[in-house]
Structure formats: structure tokens, C-alpha cells
Amino acid sequence: MNKEKQNKDLVNTLITIAQSSSNTSFAPESKSKKKTVKEVLFKVRKENPYKYKQYDLFYEVHINQLKKSEELKLEKYKLQRSELCALLGWGIHGNEEGKLALVSAESPEYKELLNNSKINKKKHTKKSNFIKKYKK
């Protein structure tokens, strides 16, 4: 998937929480001093609702915030694999421009988006074994 396709991928879309997710939303916390991807992703999304499209968000998180190499293949990253949806009770909504915001699973807004037939729904997709890691 290229940058343009990735940025259009979540137009009028809600990434729903996984069945394994908490029904109550909470912020990610790390035991280490170094910020994790999910913590930075959460912070950028909470502080900037509907500012970034998917590729632009990954660029902001990985390159600008975490100072990773610009050689990362960001076009292969997908928010559908996010631990925010898998475990922490957050849906991700893409508006008509594909700009994204976090939506708490217990909020009226999440329920409205879930029941709105004009909004595409995408389920969280599993990535490797990170769910097992958190269920220990």
C-alpha cells in the first residue's frame, strides 16, 4: 500500500475494538522510562484529534516523535493492528477526509459511529503475538 492509498484507507471508517479489548478505555502506560509506540500514538491522537491521516500519523509518531530512521516502511503500517484497539478500549475514527481521532469504547460517540450505516467498520486485525504478551 502506498502513502496515498494508506491515507484514504480510513475515510468514513471506524476501527472497532477487538473482542479481547477492555470495554473501558484507558491510557497506555509503560514500565520503562522510554516512551513506547502505543504511548506516543495515544498522546498524538488525544492531543490532535482529526489532524493526521494514517500515513501522516505514523510519520509523526515514528520519525518526528520517536526519532526513528526515515527508512522505515511506514506504508506497511496499519492502525487496525494497534494495541489501542486490541487491548485498551479505543476505537479509531476516520472522518470524511480520512483524518483520525480516538473514540472511547464506552462513549456515546463510539456507539453512534458503530450504529451509523454510512460509516465503514473495520475490525482490529491481530499482529504477531502481542496479545499473548499482555495476557500473561
For residue 132, what pLDDT is reported?
41
133 neighbors 87 (Cβ within 8 angstroms): no
Q: How many domains does the chain have?
A: 1
Identify the segments of the chain with pLDDT beneath 70: 126-136
The alpha carbon of residue 48 and the mean position of all alpha carbons in its chain are separated, in whole angstroms, by: 13
pLDDT of residue 128: 43
3-state per-residue secondary structure call for 2-32: CHHHHHHCCCCEEECCCCCCCCCCCCCCCCC
Range of the domain at 107: 3-134
DSSP state of 129: T
The CA angle 85-44-22, to the nearest 5 degrees, is: 20
pLDDT for res 135: 40
The confidence score (pLDDT) of residue 136 equals 33
